[in-house]
Amino acid sequence: MGYSYTRSGRLCCDNCGQEGAHKRKCPHHVYYADGSSLPYCPAPALCSLCYTEHGKNLHNQCEESARRLTKEEACILVQLKAGRYKVTAAWGSWHETVPTDFVGVRFEDINGASEYRLIPDADYGARWLDEYVNAQPWKPHA
C-alpha cells in the first residue's frame, strides 16, 4: 500500500482524499521467531473526520490474526531451537548454478548458519531441511 501526498508534501486520507491525514498504526503486533515484531497491518492514512467515523473498528479484525501468526512463529522458534534448518530463500533454474527441474534452496538454523541444497521441482514445498529426502548439496556461487 502506498500513501498519497499533496504537492506540498501533506499526507492525504485513504478514505476521502482530503489532505492533513495521519497514519493510524495497528496496535496489534506479530512477534517473529527472530525476536523482531511488526504491526499486523499497514497503517491506513485517515483524516480526523474519517477516523472519527471509522476509527473505532479500524483494527478490530487485526487482533485475532496477529495472535494466530505470533503463535505460528512461536512454533517455528521451538523447531529452530531443536536444531532444525528452515527455508529462507529459493532460486529457480534461471539461476546459473541451478539445473533444470530443480530448485536451489537456502536453509538457516537459529544462529543464521546456512545450508544450501538442490531440491527436485516436484518435491519443493516443505519448510524444513530434514523434510527433503532427495536434497543434494549445492553451491550457489560457481
Could you read off the pLDDT of 43-91 as tens digits, one per residue?
999 999 999 988 778 899 999 999 999 999 999 999 999 999 999 999 9
User: HEC string of 32-76?
Assistant: CCCCCEEECCCCCEECHHHHHHHHHHCCCCHHHHHHHHHHHHHHH
User: Which residue range forms the structural domain that includes residue 108?
Assistant: 84-137
In this structure, are 88 and 74 located in the same domain?
Answer: no
Residues 100 and 120 occupy one common structural domain: yes
pTM for the full predicted model? 0.77
Residue 7 domain flag: no
> Is there a domain that residue 54 lies in?
yes
Sheet holding 86-91: strands in order across?
A: 86-91, 102-108, 114-120, 136-137
Query: Which residue among 47, 80, 113 closes a domain?
Result: 80
What is the tens place of the pLDDT at every residue in 86-123?
Answer: 999 999 999 999 999 999 999 999 999 999 999 999 99
Is 88 found in the same domain as 74? no
Could you tell me if residue 39 is inside a domain? yes
The single residue listed with the C-alpha cell 525476536 is 35
Domain count, the chain: 2
